[in-house]
Structures are given as C-alpha cells and as structure tokens.
Amino acid sequence: MFKILVSDPISDLGIQQLTEASDVTVDKKTGLSEDELIAIIGEYDGLLVRSQTTVTDKIIEAGSKLKVIGRAGVGVDNINLEAATKRGVVVINAPDGNTITTCEHAFAMMMALARHIPQAYAKTITGVWDKKSFLGVELRGKSLGVLGMGRIGSEVAKRAKAFGMNILAYDPFLTADRAEKLEVKLASVDDIVRGADFITVHTPLTPQTRHMISRPQFEVMKKGMRIVNCARGGVIDEGALVEAIDAGIVAGAAFDVFEKEPPEADHPFLTHPKIIVTPHLGASTVEAQENVAIDVSEQVLHILRSEPFINAVNIPPVAPSVMNKLQPYFNLGEKLGSFASQITKGVINEIHLEFAGDLADVDTQPLNRYIVKGVLSRHFGGDANIVNAMHLAKTSDVNVVVTKASKPKSFTNLITVKLLAEGGEERLVSGTLLQGYGERIVQVGKFPIDIAPEGHQILVSHNDKPGIIGNVGTLLGQNDVNIASMQVGRVVVGGEAVMLLTVDKEVPNEVLVKLAALPEINTATEVVLL
C-alpha cells in the first residue's frame, strides 16, 4: 500500500484517481510548516504540491520512503531538484494541462486588443458614451503570425483559422509536411515580422528567443500591426515595443507576462492607453487547475507502480555501474549536441548518435538524453531536460538514431553527433575525453580539429589560402574581440578548411557579418557553450 501526502489545496476531482486507487492511501494536510512536513514526510511514498509548499532539501532528506514528488502545474521552482535527484526521487510536473486555457487567454487578449474592449469598458462605466474613440478591426482576413508552434501555438492557430485568419507559422522544428497538416503557411521570423497584421508569441525564453522582437524587427513591421504575448516575459523587448507604439508602427499590444513579475509600479505598460495587461492569468481557470492535478496524479501512480511515465523534470535512477562509466561523458555529450544544433540552420529532422570504443559496450541511454537535450535546448531552453528530451524529440517529429562502433577510431572513446536537416543539410561534430586535457572537440564535419568545447566560439568555414588567419585576427582585434585559442582543420592543402576560435566574450552579429564578407571566407557562426 502506497501513501501519498497532498500538502497544498488541490481539488478532489483532480486527485480522484489517487483516492479511488485500491493500492493508495491519500492524506490531505495543507498549510504545514517545514518542520511539520519534516516530522511526517517519512511515512509517505509520494508528495503532491502546487506552489505554496516549498520542498526543501531537508524535507526530501527526511522522506526516507519518498519515490516521487508531483507538482500540479508547470513550474518546479519550489522543489529542490538537486536534492531530489541525489536521493533518486523523481520530480514530475504537468506541462500539458494548461494548453487550452493559455491558448484561449491568448485569443481573448487578441480579440480584446482588436476591439479596444478594456479601454471602452473603463470609459463607459464612468458615464461617458464614446463610440468614436474605439474604432476596431476585424480578425477575418488578417494575417496572424504565430511564433512557436508547440502545443499552445498550434491550438491558437486552429482557432484563428476558424475566424478566417491567414496563419504564418514559425517554429524551429516545424517541417513543411507538418505545416501542411496544420494548414498553416511555414514562414521565417522575418516573414512574420514584415507581413503579419497580428503576432502572437508562444516560445520559451532562451538566449536565442530573448528580445527576438526588438527595435530592428519593429522598424520593418507593417504599420498598424498588433502584438500579443502570453508566453514568457523577455521574448519581446518591452522598451522597444513602447517606442514602436508611440511611433505609430504598432497599433496596440496585449501582455499577460512581464520581464519582471510583478512589474514595477512605474512600468510604462501599466499606464499606456494602447497596451492591455493581465497578471499572468494564462493558466488560471478551474479546468486547468483540475487538468494539471489529474495529469500529475496519473503519472504519480505510474511511478509508484513501476510503470512507464512521462513529464519527469530530473534524472531517473540509473544503475551505479552504468552511471560510473557514463557520467564523465554527460557534460561533453550535452555540449556536442548544443554545438551541432547551433551550427545547423535548417529544421532538424534526425539526430544520429554514434559511440565508438568502450562506450559501444555500454547502454548509453542516459548519455543519449544529455546529447539530445543539448540539441533541443537551443530552441526549448529550460523546458528541455534529460528526462523529457526523447519525448520532446518525438513530439517535434525529430528521429533519434543510435549506432555503436567497437573500433575506437584512434580514441579510447568517441562520441559523434550528426544532425540531418531539411534541404539535405548535414552537420557533424565528434568529441572525446583526453587524459590530461579533458573534454575535446576532435572533428567538425570532415575536418580534424582539437579544441576544448567551452565559452564563446566562432566556427569559420573558408578556403585554405595564405593570409586568412591574419585577416580574421585583424578584424576581430579591430572590433575588440580577443582570441583565447584557435584551431584550423583541413583535408587537402588549398581546399576547404575550418577555423574554430575561442574568444573572450559574445561576438556581435555585425562582426560575424564582417567576418563572412572577408575574401575566401564562406561562413562565420558563433557557438556558445557555457
């Protein structure tokens, strides 16, 4: 018989499958202090929380029988993941339960924006009957740009089509085939920025998506467009948005999220007559709260019964013998995945992982997850982790292929990551651990190389001609970019070659453009491995 403690207010309907299970006893005890939880948690196999309970390392340490912690919601900031991982406690959340709720909120915000509903309401209740000031626009026939076609973005697109809107869709994993099935037009960010009448954002906040809509994008937008953000604060540059509205480029905006929450009292969004705001209400419905509880309850049961489960946000238990062999390669594998992803321009269709040497004799599944996480993190940010990486790849129609080669290929162990993208694009990177040197990238494409995968790097594809290295060094020096290390790889003298440089700081995009414009240089790409 399993015992589960529910320490936060969660609806009875949400945990009904737990209370009705014949092999489970459920206790609801809310409002407990840390000391009170520590005193009783040792009796329980599972703990269910929302956001009120902070699950500290002391609570987890006291949970001698604890196998799973379920968060009835998405965020797990109130759970000490490191402590749970060390104790082998699986932490799960419910990322799907608020999909429809957030979608509907985004659509409600878009309609309110189009028809000035909050502003008209505020004026009408003061006794002023003003029809002339609130001339709106129809959604029918307008182009809606959806940035991020995951669960929520796809649902928004469905509803927008029902309103007669034309959908321009961008997602780094959206293929032409999937776009056709969803009946949307596959577009680039630039296509959407230049052509959309409305833009709605549904991407996680990552280094790549932070301020993806900023001054350069606002400068080329269609005059009179409108923008909605019910995803993450920081995806849209708030200061640049206010400037664009005041300049008459953007007709209005609707935001449910802020870069800092709650926003400061003098935040310009709070008083701007053309901006609608709500206090992060995307998931705030009765149905969503019940759905997340239902979802997490189901997974808790699976874990306690040793059945397959999803939505874990930390590493599942791994046999010590396997862990000892693989753990030294986890960080290297994730960096190789990230490196390969950052140099791939097209939509990734397949991830090929090859292990040579001693690694070929080990079950590499835990290591596979680190590598795939590295590939996906560029687009999913913190939403990708070592447990859900394979699930994210599957739902994004990315095939993962694993092969083993017993021959060491000049190294005791070698990890090769090859990405296949639309249009026939193929990117390959190999790495190993060298005694005395640590993690090394030893191959990029067909070119041998030897450099540590760390910090800010620049990958330069060029023709092997005299003076190339000097030109690159001079240009970077002129732009205050200091080179820490450099490696050049070539196969044939005078043929194609690559140059991989480690530099001391982030490289401005304009410097990369100047690099790519140098004679005999083909491409220049920044890779960040922090």
Predicted local distance difference test score (pLDDT) of residue 322: 80
Predicted local distance difference test score (pLDDT) of residue 243: 98
CATH class of 2-97+287-304: alpha beta
Predicted local distance difference test score (pLDDT) of residue 409: 63
**φ, ψ of residue 146 in degrees (nearest 5):** -105, 110
Does an H or E element contain 457, and which? strand 455-463
Tell me the pLDDT of the chain averaged across its residues.
93
**E strands present in 384-517:** 399-405, 413-421, 426-434, 438-444, 447-451, 455-463, 483-490, 496-503
- pLDDT more than 70, % of the chain: 99
What is the CATH topology of the domain spanning 99-277? Rossmann fold (3.40.50)
Predicted local distance difference test score (pLDDT) of residue 417: 98
Predicted local distance difference test score (pLDDT) of residue 465: 93
- Residues 25-66: pLDDT tens digits? 999 999 999 999 999 999 999 999 988 899 999 999 999 999
- Residues 411-434: pLDDT tens digits? 889 999 999 998 899 999 999 999
Catalytic status, residue 261: yes
Catalytic status, residue 280: yes
> Can you identify the CATH homologous superfamily of domain 320-529?
D-3-phosphoglycerate dehydrogenase; domain 3 (3.30.1330.90)
- Which residues on adjacent β-strands are paired with residue 254? 228, 276
Predicted local distance difference test score (pLDDT) of residue 493: 92
Among the ranges given (257-266, 302-311, 341-350, 497-506), the one the predictor scored with the smallest mean pLDDT: 302-311
Predicted local distance difference test score (pLDDT) of residue 408: 60
Predicted local distance difference test score (pLDDT) of residue 308: 78
Residue 382 has pLDDT above 80, yes or no: no
Residue 318 has pLDDT above 70, yes or no: no
Does an H or E element contain 421, and which? strand 413-421
Predicted local distance difference test score (pLDDT) of residue 317: 61
Residue 378 has pLDDT above 90, yes or no: no
Predicted local distance difference test score (pLDDT) of residue 323: 79
- pLDDT more than 90, % of the chain: 78
Predicted local distance difference test score (pLDDT) of residue 469: 93
Among the ranges given (96-105, 252-261, 380-389), the one the predictor scored with the smallest mean pLDDT: 380-389
| Buried/exposed 225-259: b ≥16 CB within 10 Å, e otherwise | bbbbbbbbbbbbbbebbbebbeeebbbbbbbbbbb
Find the catalytic residue in 115, 272, 280, 352. 280
**φ, ψ of residue 409 in degrees (nearest 5):** 55, 50
- Which residues on adjacent β-strands are paired with residue 91? 69
C-alpha gyration radius of the chain:
26
Query: Residue 264 and residue 238: Cα distance in Å, rounded?
Result: 13
* Three-class SS state of 226: strand
* Three-class SS state of 184: coil
- Residues 189-225: pLDDT tens digits? 999 999 999 999 999 888 889 999 999 999 999 999 9
Q: What are the residue ranges spanned by the domains of the chain? A: 2-97+287-304, 99-277, 320-529
Mean predicted confidence (pLDDT) in 140-166: 96
Tell me which residue of 232, 253, 25 sits closest to 119, measured CA to CA.
253
Residues 67, 90: contact at Cβ < 8 Å?
Answer: yes
| CA dihedral (467, 469, 471, 477) positive or negative | negative
Residue 478 has pLDDT above 90, yes or no: yes
- Count CB neighbours of 78 within 10 A: 16
- Residues 433-446: pLDDT tens digits? 998 889 999 999 99
Find the catalytic residue in 232, 378, 379, 456. 232
**Distances in whole angstroms, Cα of residue 338 to Cα of each of 26, 378, 379, 516:** 42, 7, 10, 22
Residue 316 has pLDDT above 70, yes or no: no
- Rounded to two decimals, the pTM is 0.79
Mean predicted confidence (pLDDT) in 118-135: 96
Find the catalytic residue in 261, 264, 307, 510. 261
pLDDT bin (cut points 50, 70, 90) of residue 358 is confident
Residue 287 has pLDDT above 80, yes or no: yes
pLDDT bin (cut points 50, 70, 90) of residue 73 is confident
Identical fold, 2-97+287-304 and 99-277 = yes
Residues 476, 510: contact at Cβ < 8 Å?
Answer: no
Predicted local distance difference test score (pLDDT) of residue 246: 97
**Distances in whole angstroms, Cα of residue 494 to Cα of each of 446, 471, 489:** 15, 17, 12
**φ, ψ of residue 144 in degrees (nearest 5):** -105, 120
Query: Residue 81 and residue 57: Cα distance in Å, rounded?
Result: 9
